[in-house]
């Protein structure tokens, strides 16, 4: 696991939503799963107790999500979206042609968008994100995919993300 942490841009709404999720998981979420585990323990032999194992697995997922949210919020940069200057930055929605196919996506963290959004999200650290970061409308960028294949991206539109 990398000890390197980077700042993640979040809207105020996304920050508040993730803070509320963390508070819920740290309080009620932990309490509820502890009750489920205790109840399942009372059902007998733990080796063959499906309810117990399911509850323990759920507990692991909750604890993992708490760790992710804690790190995210600790390193969040909360504020308005970047300026609309046509330059690809974290928090911008990019319209581009990738290998001849039109695509629209958010460059940033998946935590920015709400679960109902169908907008694809690419991290700034992804091969695509790293390649186009700092480029502007009209630029053509070629980068090597993890497979080694060269991918051509033509940036046609860059706008600040609006939730």
- Domain residue spans of the chain: 8-78, 92-160
Q: Answer whether 8-78 and 92-160 agree in fold.
A: no
CATH topology of domain 8-78: Helix Hairpins (1.10.287)
CATH topology of domain 92-160: Chitinase A; domain 3 (3.10.50)
For 98-137, how does the pLDDT look when each residue is reduced to its tens digit (9 = 90+)?
999 999 999 988 888 876 678 899 988 899 999 999 999 9
SS (H, E, C) 90-127: CCEEEEEEECCEEEEEEECCCCCCCCCCCCEEECCCCH
For 46-102, how does the pLDDT look when each residue is reduced to its tens digit (9 = 90+)?
777 788 889 999 999 999 999 999 998 998 888 877 778 889 998 899 999 999 999
For 3-27, how does the pLDDT look when each residue is reduced to its tens digit (9 = 90+)?
345 678 888 888 999 999 999 999 9
Helix (H, G, I), strand (E, B) or coil at 3: coil
Does pTM surpass 0.85?
no
């Amino acid at each position: 696991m990398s000890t390197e942490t980077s700042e993640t841009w979040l809207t105020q709404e996304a920050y508040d939503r993730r803070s509320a999720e963390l508070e819920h998981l740290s309080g009620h979420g932990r309490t509820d799963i502890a009750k489920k585990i205790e109840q399942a323990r009372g059902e007998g032999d733990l080796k063959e107790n499906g309810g117990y194992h399911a509850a323990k697995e759920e507990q692991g997922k909750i604890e993992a999500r708490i760790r992710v949210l804690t790190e995210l919020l600790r390193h969040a940069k909360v504020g308005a979206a970047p300026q609309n200057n046509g330059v690809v930055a974290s928090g911008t929605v990019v319209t581009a042609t990738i290998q001849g196919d039109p695509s629209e996506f958010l460059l940033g963290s998946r935590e920015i968008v709400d679960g109902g959004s169908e907008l694809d999200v690419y991290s700034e650290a992804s091969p695509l994100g790293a390649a186009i970061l700092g480029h502007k409308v009209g630029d053509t960028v070629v980068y090597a995919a993890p497979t080694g294949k060269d991918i051509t991206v033509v940036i046609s539109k860059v706008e600040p993300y609006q939730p």
